[in-house]
Amino acid sequence: MKTKAVVFPEANKFEIIEVPLREMGPRDMLVETLVTAISPGTERWILFGKHLGTKFPCIPGYQRIGIVKKCGEEVKAFKVGDIVYGGGYEGGYSNIVPMWGAHIGLSVNDWTAYRFLSSSLPDQFELEALSYGIVASVATRGIRFCNVKEGEKILVIGAGFIGICAAQLALRKGAKPVLLEKDPERVEFAKKLGFNAFNVDEEDLDEKLRKYAPEGFDVLYDTAGHAKTTNRMVRHMKYQGIILLQSQYFDLERCALDLDQIKIRELTMRTTCGIRDEDWLETINYIKNRYIQINPLITHRLNYTDALEGYKMLSAGKPFNLGIIFYWSEADNI
What mean pLDDT is predicted for residues 237-263?
88
In terms of phi and psi (left: phi > 0; alpha: psi -120 to 50; beta: otherwise), the region of 93 is alpha
> Average model confidence (pLDDT) for the chain?
94
- Asked whether 14 and 59 are in contact (CB, 8 A), the reply is no
pLDDT digit string, tens, across residues 283-317: 999 999 999 999 999 999 999 999 999 999 999 98
Q: Is the pTM of this model over 0.75?
A: yes
pLDDT digit string, tens, across residues 3-39: 999 999 999 999 999 999 999 999 999 999 999 999 9
**Euclidean distance between the first and the last CA atom of the chain, given in angstroms as a whole number:** 6
pLDDT(221) > 60? yes
Nearest Cα to Cα of residue 36 among 79, 87, 98, 95? 87
pLDDT for the residue numbered 93? 78
- Strand 2-7 relative to strand 28-37: parallel, antiparallel, unpaired? unpaired
pLDDT for the residue numbered 330? 57
DSSP 262-323: HHHTTPEEEE--S--HHHHHHHHHHHHTTSS--GGGEEEEEEGGGHHHHHHHHHH--S--SE
Q: Cβ–Cβ contacts within 10 Å for residue 253, how many?
A: 6
Handedness of CA 34, 84, 100, 251 (dihedral sign): positive
What mean pLDDT is predicted for residues 193-203?
96
pLDDT(332) > 70? no
For each of the domains in the chain, give its residue range(s) and CATH number, in order of start.
2-132+294-327 (3.90.180.10), 138-271 (3.40.50.720)
What mean pLDDT is predicted for residues 90-114?
93
pLDDT(268) > 70? yes
What mean pLDDT is predicted for residues 208-231?
96
pLDDT(51) > 90? no
pLDDT(184) > 70? yes
Instruction: Give, in order, the Cα–Cα distances in Å from 107 to each of 3, 19, 75, 209, 213.
Output: 8, 11, 15, 49, 50
